[in-house]
Structure 1
Amino acid sequence: MFRRVMTLLVSSALLVGLAVGGLLLPVPYLVASPGLSLNTLGEDDEGERIIQVDGRKSYEHKGGLSMVTVQYVGGPGARVDLFTALSAWLSPRDAVLPEEAIFPPGQSMDDISEEQSLQMDDSQSKAIAAALTQLDIDYGVQPVVADVDPELPAHGKLKAGDVITEVDGAQVDGVKQTVGKVSDREPGDPVEMTVERKGAPKDVRIDTAESDDGTAVVGVMLRDDMDFPFEVDVSVGNVGGPSAGMMFALGIMDHLSSEGLTGGHAIAGTGTIEPDGKVGGVSGVEQKMVSAQREGAEYFFVASESCDLTFDSAATGEIEVVKIDKLDDAVDALADIRGGDTDDLPRCTQK
């Protein structure tokens, strides 16, 4: 009898030990939690303005236009244990994601960090462009060679960093116009380009090739570099990614406008931005809504593409959600909020 009891106790202890050990095993999942909130009209922890304008009169207004973030725990080399993943799965504020959702196979933490940093830089440039476009402030756009295909005619004639200033003797303004002018010929026909390389002009002649869709190409990847008439600096520390673009654009507009956009209200939001004002969807909306509500935001602006995500947040029903397709929509919504006319604000509808 005694031996049976001891066997049962030892077996139970082993099972408990195995269960506890299993809970502490690392698993290939990420935990997404509500992150920080930064008011683009305010200051960072060191007292520096989030957005600073140099070379043009700027203004400071009350209210908030806050970008919100998601905090991720886990990833290659720093995996969470099963207990942490299960706890997050049971939490209404958090989400559990497969590791590859953020860290594609073959990419290191440094690779992801660099990519996120580049996306943030690109988002800030697009936000400045979108804000200036909305305010009818002119700026220049320069098509710059980002990469050259070694198998196509531009190889050896154009280099990364070349600024294309003319095509066939006519000035070009941006990637879209440049691509249009090059493709406006039969494949095989030559194109004359003038580029600026290391500050000096250079003329090149390139015989075009035929692309998969039958148009003429030279084999370069281009990006738009914006030439703004004054400097706008956006400082958000180590935050990366493109999802704060809409809120950056609104914050920049507020700094450049004599009348504040918010009327003293606290607004938060998330969405990418394009220079033409188009607002794009992002991930992590559920956690970002919690961040916004926690920081006292009255309204949450979200890209229409992300509307479906707003119904699964722990903050659903606790904060007013406004859907945005383009920067115009956000400006109109802010005007309604300032005026107290919020009945007709565009809202997400559940399908």
Structure 2
Amino acid sequence: MLDESDPFDVPPYEPERVSPRSLMLSVGMLGTAVLLALLVVLPTPYAVNSPGPTRDVLGEHDGTPLIQISGAKTYDSTGELRLTTVSGTGGPGFPSTILGALQGWLSPTSVVRPVEELYPPDVSQEQIDESNQAEMVSSQENASVAALTELGYDVPATLVVAGAVEGTDAAGKVEEGDVIVALNGTPVPDYQSLIDDLDAVTAGDTITLTVTRHGQTIDLPIVTGTKDDGGAQIGVYIDPTFDMPVDVKISIDDIGGPSAGTMFALGIIDKMTPEDEADGVDIAGTGTMDVTGDVGPIGGIRQKLAGARRDGATWFLAPASNCDEVVGHVPDGLHVVKISTLHDAREAMTAIGAGTAGSLPTCTSSAG
């Protein structure tokens, strides 16, 4: 049977009318998407510090050993000695986003602070990078000197005066460029000798500081001042030049600042001694290091604790001066040991590797 109806004879199409509710929902979704996009890209006046990467100073990075030693025998190690870092946003050229700040506030291992508390407004990122790199280079030299001295090496140094501390008796007597050669008639061939000789002086006593100036030897009577710990100090800034008995090269270009000094020094000691001190244990840590072997405070200790545990460390060496920040913030499975000197750190490393670390000092007790 034929259908004689006109195939084009259909009712006109009428589009479905959009309800006000659907329209509001669409607008709301679009607004949310735009808001989320802005959260991702809009800068905020806050700096966010989070756990950064760790590096095993006994290992390699990009195929290059972090510590390379020539002029002395080295030994293999089975443990790991991890330097720890902090990753940050909010500095010049690297602003934090609103989303990043929100994530930082919600994270138990991150800290969010106003940018002006960390970065002066007139400092560029290039200046910050240059300062961090200079501090890293200095920390490597200090670590090398301290480690070799701890191992019994003599590290001769030329002790050049860089200036005098204002308000001390040395001001107006020493001159920039003077070279210190003796204290109270005793030669000081290296930095450690100067420190040792000063330890025998009572603050307030007058010493005879012998310097060479423009080729002449001069004796300078100087009344010593008092250090924070009560010891005597000359009141001069010294820029030493070291004559290293062993060539130590540390290769690490993507990390700046001075806080890796302690772990560098431990790595040098571990490599240059036949004992396998860490003995298969993953030990992390932090702390500045001066040429006398003193461990100094650092920033971001809580982020470094978290980063160490995240990367598998079970022990952490923390500067004694950071202990107040450590208490209550130690991740599960991480044991923290308090250290004040490189010798402390070396003994802790050896005890941890030997499985006899139960009596090592912690940040909550002198032994624990």
Query: One fold, TM greater than 0.5?
Result: yes
Q: Distance in 1 between matches of 2:326 and 2:234?
A: 44
What's the CA shift for 1:9? 8.7
Q: Is the 8 A contact 1:126 1:245 kept in 2?
A: yes
What's the CA shift for 1:325? 2.0
TM-score of the superposed pair, with normalisation by structure 1 = 0.77
Q: Summarize the Cα distance change of 1:255–1:8 in structure 2 as closer, same or farther, 3 Å threshold.
A: closer
Of residues 254, 276, 280, the one that matches 2:270 is: 254
Residue equivalent to 1:346: 361
Q: Report the secondary structure of 1:78's partner residue.
A: coil
Matches within 5 A, 1:52-71: 52-71=68-87
CA deviations 1:253-282 (Å, max 9, x no partner) are 011101121012111111112233222221
Q: Is the 8 A contact 1:261 1:334 kept in 2?
A: yes
Of residues 313, 318, 321, the one that matches 1:305 is: 321
Residue equivalent to 1:194: 212
Q: Summarize the Cα distance change of 1:18–1:278 in structure 2 as closer, same or farther, 3 Å threshold.
A: same
Matches within 5 A, 1:1-351: 23=39, 25-45=42-62, 47-147=63-163, 153=172, 163-165=179-181, 171-173=187-189, 174=191, 193-195=211-213, 201=215, 221-311=237-327, 313=329, 316-349=331-364
Q: Distance in 2 between matches of 1:7 and 1:327?
A: 69
Q: Is the 8 A contact 1:167 1:193 kept in 2?
A: no
Letter of the 1:326 partner, please give it. T
TM-score of the superposed pair, with normalisation by structure 2 = 0.74
Question: Which segment drifts farther, 18-27 or 84-93?
Answer: 18-27
Q: Summarize the Cα distance change of 1:191–1:35 in structure 2 as closer, same or farther, 3 Å threshold.
A: closer
What's the CA shift for 1:349? 1.8
Q: Report the secondary structure of 1:343's partner residue.
A: helix
Q: Report the secondary structure of 1:228's partner residue.
A: coil
Letter of the 1:272 partner, please give it. T
Q: Which runs of 5+ in 2 are unaligned?
A: 1-19, 228-232
Max radius of gyration: which structure? 2
Aligned residue pairs total 332
Q: Is the 8 A contact 2:314 2:333 kept in 1?
A: no
Q: Report the secondary structure of 2:358's partner residue.
A: coil
Q: Distance in 2 between matches of 1:172 and 1:327?
A: 22
Letter of the 1:318 partner, please give it. G
Q: Summarize the Cα distance change of 1:95–1:59 in structure 2 as closer, same or farther, 3 Å threshold.
A: same
Q: Which runs of 5+ in 1 are unaligned?
A: none
Q: Summarize the Cα distance change of 1:9–1:171 in structure 2 as closer, same or farther, 3 Å threshold.
A: same
Q: Summarize the Cα distance change of 1:206–1:110 in structure 2 as closer, same or farther, 3 Å threshold.
A: farther
Q: Distance in 2 between matches of 1:163 and 1:244?
A: 30
Q: Is the 8 A contact 1:166 1:194 kept in 2?
A: no
CA root-mean-square deviation? 4.1
Q: Is the 8 A contact 1:207 1:218 kept in 2?
A: no
Identity %: 36
Q: Report the secondary structure of 2:74's partner residue.
A: coil
CA deviations 1:180-207 (Å, max 9, x no partner) are 9xx9769xxx987424x8xxx4667999
